[in-house]
Structure 1
């Protein structure tokens, strides 16, 4: 490292540009929709290394050539790693087959009302007694209760046993490739699994006719995970209420799943979500405290000080203990990034290198990206990267190239979430610590203002009360709650004290979150506008004259004023969200919006409303006028509660019964054939069910609200889960209203729907099919697909297409989110 610090051809601006080239090359490779042959990447890596070797021998000193070499190296190395990783991808022929798998549980299992989930390191796998190759790491679900397969029930599943980290199990699994929902501005589940090294998901076959899973013994291969699991279980057993226990478990062992969903909503609204898990702030705080203690102890020994200076020993020891703490906390990706930051800066300081802050800043980022190229696609990385740069550039002492304070601030501020406040440099004195805590209040506004445009670009929301919330939450969580929670591992009684501190914290945050202006939501701007806004925010906080700072306003304001494009007057748009096995279609006109169904409930803590629809509506800044719930089935109303809570002004139109729980939240108006209204030149009409249908006893599917939407020239028909009996009656009663350009496929493609006569009456050009990938109901049925194909109806389905968008003013095209944003880590459905 010392040699690198004085490398003649890599000084100053050249080093900065070379590191930037490495980052740019990596970023370019991440834009590939498909990987090339691994040999191409290997060739470019070899070329880049040759150029760098020439530079090292001083045969080449051209800055531009070095930047190009670094760019090629970043591109080729990332592609080579991705190609090697994909060599272990799941063979599509093995999906849906019963495989006997032996493996070791690598982490804490997560339990919920449906069963439990855990990660398995595969040791062997067999199909029909023959050994086969499967991905080395898979996520496994072990479900309890009745589990439907196809259209029948497989019977009562065996209740999951107590599963512990480090145990070896043999069990029958059904595997499938990682496949998540793909929606505009939505969470990329497949990228998340890719970063975790997971290339398949599975569920345990534990029905009455399946071989019983066998526990083969404890291997002790993952002792840290086993200890974490034991500590978490003790926390959850000792602390009441469960709400407080979950937060303490998250702070001690990094189990973020233990935090209630409603609490996450409060944390996001108040801008303190970064504090409620093992983040860079906590790890750096731990490292700083450990360094202070080690430095104090080291100075007590003259022999040790003569062998190695106390400041250096404290720095190295603090980093090592921070790494140990991160391992105990689960060694998540954000913790890994923070530890890399700490280690990089510590190595520079221990080597005697004295680099200006831009080079230190860029080096630390380049090291993180070299170890984890896909960090460039994580919001936390960019929030941290920009925040650190802002703090460096706006610090009054940043201009001192050898500023130890700047180096310490860099380490403390670079974390997974928006870095808040700063801590004293590792190995610093108590006076530095006091000064750093005081600086939290002075610099919090700088971070808030500078990151606001980036936060809006990434999340479409920024907390207005975040400055106030962080002012008391940062010191309270880092100096009170977290230490009490950690020392509770040794003295369990302290967990009760920590629970009391958590209660006070939640009370304050809930009070702030209750304000109607607690958070600002805007339409998520395009990338170019977001980048301009970030530059404008940085200009406002730079230590320039105020006339110069105010030049940032023209760049900043458009981010807050941006509006997502809306349909023209007299036209409408359908956006069929990718919610898995369920329906959810957003209909927008020039000034109105309607949501047809709200998708499924995945578990007690997860549903399509919170996971997909609320973020989508926020990203588009859409205000619903009406929520239509076709009928009461869980795959149509599962996300309704979350949507209604977010959209208090929306009226509810549905066929749900008067006793349905949603009636308490929002009284529903019955949908009845003949209801009509007009929005912005677009006609809406309910064509089913009839009023007398509500008096008949039958399946909920028969009462599905059927909605016809027409601009005059073009029409769409949304039909819920109607079956062939209802299709026949629609043909008899309303044949003249059925012809449409677009049809939402009835009942997700079930064999009980989509009769030949109905398809002939509707005669759509496009059919939109919302169904889950390899769903357990077997939708769509092969016979149904054949009927669509025989009539040359183009079928677009969620597994292949993701979210589907159709526009009445562009009726010859259905835009697929999965296709338009395809990257090589995304699953390609056969």
Structure 2
């Protein structure tokens, strides 16, 4: 039985690693072979094939529910119901719309929308909206959050921006009740921790500030502020433990079997808490796991804990095969498996503090390979912080918060308990703050497969009981995973990455022992792509030090992420074409026309137009040459600045050209292109951007000169090994079934290939 369950799990998990879904004929063949294997009692083969077939069918249904390509970038009037709890940040209302309908077209069943300056929305309301619709699309960078995978896992078929709308029906249902409760909780006095308590009670984290999130990430305690399997299990455990104590002291009715009632009431309490928290996908997953564990505890303990864990694993994936696209799925099951390996079958009872300390130690070691594989931040202070925070939140903060919420109708009592919980949570944040400040989270470097496998084996050995032979070698096996090779280019060559930052720019140039970042990505209000994309990508590539941050000019789409880069990497030098317009804390120096330097056999030079009258014209232009192959990075210079650069008498020839000003109509003149003679051009822009970049006439001009085009919207981040005279390598060429395939004109090919 267990081998069949393992085969089923393997089939369901294969979906996660497919580059593309099989077509109908292949899928029908797989299912048929699986059924024939089942009839022939080849149960392992049958479970593997049937699991894979079901996962592919489920994933295909989600893909089929995406916005039709012909509706992409169109504005439509539609009707739908607000689901979940809308979030407001920087005067932007973000919410999900379900059961969307339009008169003439078929729409996805679930959409994620943003309304800039929109009115207050409530869950359960029905609206008629004019929405600028987009197909699911995300930025693709090394070691960064995969937004498209997240949308697919949530079965969200479209995103969009609301232009206008009208409310058709008031809020109704349990969503409306949860929203009203949220508004009341956020209005209560709680020492400024209303947002944290609302996250604990209702699973709504929109009330947490960016500073709160940073502190929780650095201290490794994010899981405590987001309702997860731990909270649901805690609720069941409290009720279960209460009944056990009553039975132990003879206070439980003898005619009622205490174990059956403990399991049933424990699950009922967990289910009620889950409904209060919105019963989202992670909560549903936790309820399935909890139900299996309680049934195992009640009737099937003789089968062993691993059978129960396998059954829960299979059930979760059978109900939602796309769960494997979410990091939380892997971490939650990984954590349970680690605890089972550590505590199952141990002889003798441990004290509560020894048990908690041991749990934190094994979780730190055991989850390390998973966190590295998922590219998630690793908290250095996490073990110590959780040793304090887990019991504090579970047994000190959460009970009065929940009890206060339930007793809100009782004057003074409910509010008093809620305020007490807020004070206790504020005390915890005060304790965690110095830990987070002294030992902030570490962004891991991408690890080669061989080093990761050695590290995973080392972590497994360290988790085994003391006295097991070879256990001591586990720490040595961890070292290649914790300190992987740098992957720096050889002498005389440069590794160039154009990051996918939407309507902005950020390019990394790395030599054997130096690194330069040309522009830092955009920042829009509180949304900083320097912090969210560029820094994690640099960390994933192993860049721990920046010798120079070169900001072409001070516009937000080029320099918006500079402060985040400064906080994260403290570049040795910052230079810019517009140093006076940048924050004083950057201490930027002016770009010097004619400056030249050499790193590891790679030559660099800069140019800035002294007659510039606009910020774009003042862009600092950078030329890089490695082994005879050249690249020209141009910032946002326009046609006048291009003419001045030509008149300066420089040798502008370069194999690679960064399209000036994102390919705007006011740049990329024919004279400039003839002077540079590029074989390939790089466009960095946002999908469906409001500026129309790149302009069709500019694209036509490049094509007329047989210049290969590379567009980050189509290809994601681009890697170029300057000095090898090879092709650009787009990350979107790494196929994933949830991403739209590369357009034919964006398919990777040798430098100079015409589209």
Normalising by structure 2, we get a TM-score of 0.92
Partner of 2:738: 825
Question: Structure 2 vs 1, CA of residues 637 and 330 (structure 1 numbering), >3 Å: closer, same or farther?
Answer: farther
- Say yes or no: does 1:533 pair with 2:455: yes
Partner of 1:107: 84
Partner of 2:748: none
- Say yes or no: does 1:462 pair with 2:378: yes
Secondary structure in 2 matching 1:19:
helix
**Distance in 1 between the 2:525 and 2:243 partners?**
46
Question: Structure 2 vs 1, CA of residues 42 and 569 (structure 1 numbering), >3 Å: closer, same or farther?
Answer: same
Partner of 2:170: 218
Secondary structure in 2 matching 1:346:
helix
**Distance in 1 between the 2:30 and 2:257 partners?**
44
Structure 1 residue 751 displacement after superposition: 1.0
After superposing the two structures, state which structure 1 stretch, 708-717 or 439-448, moved more: 439-448
Structure 1, residues 408-450: CA drift from partner, whole Å, max 9, x if none? xxxxxxxxxxxxxxxxxxxxxxxx9x95565102332222223
**Distance in 2 between the 1:634 and 1:118 partners?**
27
Structure 1 residue 238 displacement after superposition: 3.1
Structure 1 residue 460 displacement after superposition: 6.2
Structure 1 residue 178 displacement after superposition: 0.6
Partner of 2:340: 392
- Say yes or no: does 1:264 pair with 2:213: yes
Contact 2:508 2:515 (C-alpha < 8 Å) held by counterparts: yes
Secondary structure in 2 matching 1:700:
coil
Contact 1:109 1:116 (C-alpha < 8 Å) held by counterparts: yes
2:615 to 700, 704, 711: 700
**Distance in 2 between the 1:388 and 1:778 partners?**
50
1:163-174 equivalences under 5 Å are: 163-174=121-132
1:511-590 equivalences under 5 Å are: 511-515=434-438, 517-545=439-467, 547-590=469-512
Partner of 2:177: 227
Contact 2:458 2:478 (C-alpha < 8 Å) held by counterparts: yes
**Distance in 2 between the 1:584 and 1:73 partners?**
45
Secondary structure in 2 matching 1:752:
coil
Secondary structure in 1 matching 2:132:
strand
1:746-761 equivalences under 5 Å are: 746-761=660-675
Contact 2:716 2:731 (C-alpha < 8 Å) held by counterparts: yes
Contact 1:42 1:77 (C-alpha < 8 Å) held by counterparts: no
**Distance in 1 between the 2:358 and 2:434 partners?**
24
Partner of 2:750: none
Contact 1:521 1:621 (C-alpha < 8 Å) held by counterparts: no
Question: Structure 2 vs 1, CA of residues 262 and 30 (structure 1 numbering), >3 Å: closer, same or farther?
Answer: same
Partner of 1:246: 195
- Say yes or no: does 1:501 pair with 2:424: yes
Q: CA RMSD in A?
A: 2.5
Partner of 1:347: 295
Structure 1, residues 137-194: CA drift from partner, whole Å, max 9, x if none? 11111113xxxxxxxxxxxxxxx22211111111111211010000111111011111
After superposing the two structures, state which structure 1 stretch, 455-464 or 762-771, moved more: 455-464
Structure 1 residue 384 displacement after superposition: 3.2
Structure 1 residue 98 displacement after superposition: 2.3
Question: Structure 2 vs 1, CA of residues 281 and 216 (structure 1 numbering), >3 Å: closer, same or farther?
Answer: same
Contact 1:117 1:140 (C-alpha < 8 Å) held by counterparts: yes
Contact 2:492 2:723 (C-alpha < 8 Å) held by counterparts: no
Partner of 1:652: 574
**Distance in 1 between the 2:207 and 2:509 partners?**
36
Structure 1 residue 118 displacement after superposition: 0.9
Question: Structure 2 vs 1, CA of residues 524 and 120 (structure 1 numbering), >3 Å: closer, same or farther?
Answer: same
- Say yes or no: does 1:717 pair with 2:665: no
Partner of 2:12: 26
**Distance in 1 between the 2:419 and 2:29 partners?**
59
**Distance in 1 between the 2:13 and 2:322 partners?**
9
Question: Structure 2 vs 1, CA of residues 120 and 518 (structure 1 numbering), >3 Å: closer, same or farther?
Answer: closer
Question: Structure 2 vs 1, CA of residues 650 and 233 (structure 1 numbering), >3 Å: closer, same or farther?
Answer: farther
Contact 2:462 2:474 (C-alpha < 8 Å) held by counterparts: yes
Contact 1:524 1:564 (C-alpha < 8 Å) held by counterparts: no
1:670 to 590, 611, 614: 590
Partner of 2:112: 139
Contact 2:136 2:151 (C-alpha < 8 Å) held by counterparts: yes
Contact 1:270 1:463 (C-alpha < 8 Å) held by counterparts: yes
Contact 1:315 1:346 (C-alpha < 8 Å) held by counterparts: yes
After superposing the two structures, state which structure 1 stretch, 180-189 or 532-541, moved more: 532-541
Secondary structure in 2 matching 1:760:
helix
**Distance in 2 between the 1:101 and 1:465 partners?**
49
Contact 1:109 1:165 (C-alpha < 8 Å) held by counterparts: yes
Contact 2:92 2:116 (C-alpha < 8 Å) held by counterparts: yes
Question: Structure 2 vs 1, CA of residues 808 and 659 (structure 1 numbering), >3 Å: closer, same or farther?
Answer: closer
1:367-378 equivalences under 5 Å are: 367-378=315-326
Question: Structure 2 vs 1, CA of residues 84 and 461 (structure 1 numbering), >3 Å: closer, same or farther?
Answer: closer
Partner of 1:486: 402
**Distance in 2 between the 1:460 and 1:199 partners?**
26
Contact 1:523 1:563 (C-alpha < 8 Å) held by counterparts: no
Contact 2:20 2:737 (C-alpha < 8 Å) held by counterparts: yes
Structure 1, residues 761-808: CA drift from partner, whole Å, max 9, x if none? 111111111111112221111111101111111111111100011111
Secondary structure in 2 matching 1:566:
coil
Question: Structure 2 vs 1, CA of residues 247 and 44 (structure 1 numbering), >3 Å: closer, same or farther?
Answer: same
Secondary structure in 1 matching 2:282:
helix
**Distance in 1 between the 2:214 and 2:698 partners?**
41
Contact 2:150 2:325 (C-alpha < 8 Å) held by counterparts: no
1:48-447 equivalences under 5 Å are: 48-52=34-38, 60=41, 65-126=42-103, 131-144=104-117, 160-206=118-164, 213-218=165-170, 220=172, 223-239=173-189, 244-293=193-242, 306=255, 309-352=257-300, 354-395=302-343, 397=345, 436=352, 439-447=355-363
Structure 1 residue 707 displacement after superposition: 0.7
Q: Which runs of 5+ in 2 are unaligned?
A: 409-413, 744-755
**Distance in 2 between the 1:24 and 1:247 partners?**
38
- Say yes or no: does 1:47 pair with 2:47: no
Contact 1:740 1:764 (C-alpha < 8 Å) held by counterparts: yes
Question: Structure 2 vs 1, CA of residues 311 and 599 (structure 1 numbering), >3 Å: closer, same or farther?
Answer: same
Secondary structure in 1 matching 2:598:
strand
Contact 1:453 1:556 (C-alpha < 8 Å) held by counterparts: no
Question: Structure 2 vs 1, CA of residues 498 and 32 (structure 1 numbering), >3 Å: closer, same or farther?
Answer: same
Contact 1:671 1:689 (C-alpha < 8 Å) held by counterparts: no
Structure 1 residue 103 displacement after superposition: 0.6
Question: Structure 2 vs 1, CA of residues 94 and 495 (structure 1 numbering), >3 Å: closer, same or farther?
Answer: same
**Distance in 1 between the 2:4 and 2:490 partners?**
48
Question: Structure 2 vs 1, CA of residues 133 and 342 (structure 1 numbering), >3 Å: closer, same or farther?
Answer: same
Secondary structure in 2 matching 1:381:
helix
- Say yes or no: does 1:37 pair with 2:23: yes
Contact 2:79 2:129 (C-alpha < 8 Å) held by counterparts: yes
**Distance in 2 between the 1:602 and 1:828 partners?**
29
Question: Structure 2 vs 1, CA of residues 85 and 631 (structure 1 numbering), >3 Å: closer, same or farther?
Answer: same
Structure 1 residue 657 displacement after superposition: 4.6
**Distance in 2 between the 1:286 and 1:480 partners?**
13
**Distance in 2 between the 1:39 and 1:301 partners?**
64
After superposing the two structures, state which structure 1 stretch, 317-326 or 713-722, moved more: 317-326
Structure 1 residue 594 displacement after superposition: 0.8
After superposing the two structures, state which structure 1 stretch, 366-375 or 168-177, moved more: 366-375
2:716 to 802, 811, 824: 802
Secondary structure in 1 matching 2:580:
coil
Aligned length: 735
